[in-house]
Structures are given as structure tokens and as C-alpha cells.
Structure 1
Amino acid sequence: MKCYLFLVSLIFAGYVSAQEPTFSAGSKVFVENTSKNENVINTVQELLKRLNEWDHWQVVPTAEEADFKISIDVTASKGITLTSWGGTSYVMVAKLIDKKNEVLWESNAYKSSPNGTNGFNSGRAVVKKLMRDLKRKFT
């Protein structure tokens, strides 16, 4: 019985290791954003900059070239709140989607309001939070 269990686990381990990881270093990624809001576009540009600096994945200009895509949902809102001093607050959620349009990973909702700790740039702050989690998860 132990022999069979060992054999099955050995076959399973071989199968798992033979699979090509979608998010491995050098994979091609496309960043998808459907919003036309200027604040959101600037936040996505910051994400593209950070992804290129990280250099774990290759950012490509079209979804057809990519191994997977990062779909970004950013909500920007203005006004004074308890935690902000006015300006634009952001909430960002990212989904990593394969070529079959299956969501393989979804981030937490990253929130930030402009204050002194983030240099009054909450768009950059939510990108930093996302990048921190991407690096932890995929490197």
C-alpha cells in the first residue's frame, strides 16, 4: 500500500513540475484598463512604470502578445474624509487573467487617501501596495 501511495505522489509531483507556470519570470503581461478617468489613467501609468522597473514580467502593448493580463479596476473619488486632507482617494483591485479569460488571482482592495505619509499621492500609494503583494506572491 505504501508503495502505491509513493508511486501516485511521485507521478503527481512530476505532473505538477511539468506544468509551465503562467506567472513565471519572463512571462509577457498586458495591463488592461477600461476607465477614461484621467486620475485612473495616471495610476495605471504608474503601475506600468513599476512593473517595468521590477522586470519580473515583460510588459507588452497588446493582449494578443501577452501570456496573461492584469485587469485593473481603480475607483477615484474626491473630497475631504476622516483620513484624508482633501484631494483624490483611490481604491484599486487587480485580477490576473489567463488567455482563457479565467481569473487565476485577485488582489485585495487597496485603499489610499492623500496624506503626509504618502506624499499626498494616493494613486502612487495604491500601486506600491499592489506591487508589494505581487512581489511577495510571484518572486
Structure 2
Amino acid sequence: MENISIIIAGVGGQGLVLATRILSEAAFSQGLDVKTNDVVGLSQRGGTVWGSVKMGEKIYSPNILPKEADIILGMEPLEALRWSHILKDGGKIILNTNRVYPTPVLLEKEPYPEEAIEGLKEKFEVIEIDAQKEAEASGN
């Protein structure tokens, strides 16, 4: 199997650590070598959080360099945009369409970058999912 590199990008409280764990355990159960990494301390101050999952025959590091990620799991659109520089050409973004507005946007000091987020569709394959709606439909 070819190695796969995934960045999970979001904000605190969205389940990023759990998503990282689920992906890594699923890959491991299939006999793949897996390395993970996540940064979550910033979530307590409303900051960005991210994780990486690399899986394949042999993985030496969880770190993903710019233009190396195959997939971004964007748990929040702005965070997917922030991490898009790490996605390789032809990469995929699985994008939760629900917005979590950062403080500068809530204080009306900055606009939410709708156009830039929409521009991701010109560079990458973007799969949009309304995760909130899907969770409610499943009874969660």
C-alpha cells in the first residue's frame, strides 16, 4: 500500500483527538504501520488544533511537510484553509461546512474568508459535508 498522509484541522472541542485516534486505530487494525501527532493545548484558549496521521507499509515520522499531505480533514473551513499549503497537488479536502467563527470575526474586526475558502475548490478536490446535520440525523 502507498503511504497516506492526513492532516486533521479544527478548533477546540470538535473531537480532533478522537478523530485522530479512530483513523489510526482503523489503519492499525488493517495491519498498517501508523504514526500520529496532535497539538491540542491551544484549544483551551479558543485556538486552532491539528493532528496528523500517516499510514502505510513503513512510516518513520508523523510529521507532514508542505506539499506532502494527501488529505485534509477540515473540521472547520477556516482551519482547512490555514492548512491547505501542506496539501499536495491533486490532494483532497473533506470539509465540514459548519463555521466556528474566531474572535476577530465575532468582534467584527476581520471578515470570515468565505472567498478564499471557496477558492480551495479551484486547487483541490473538495468534498463538503454538513457534519452537524449528519450527526443530528444519526441521533447524536
TM-score, scaled to structure 1: 0.34
Instruction: Report which of the two structures shows the higher radius of gyration computed on alpha carbons.
Output: 1
**TM-score (normalised: structure 2):** 0.34
Higher RCO (C-alpha under 8 Å, 6+ residues apart): 2
Task: Name the one with the larger strand percent.
Answer: 2
Structure with the higher helix share, 1 or 2: 1
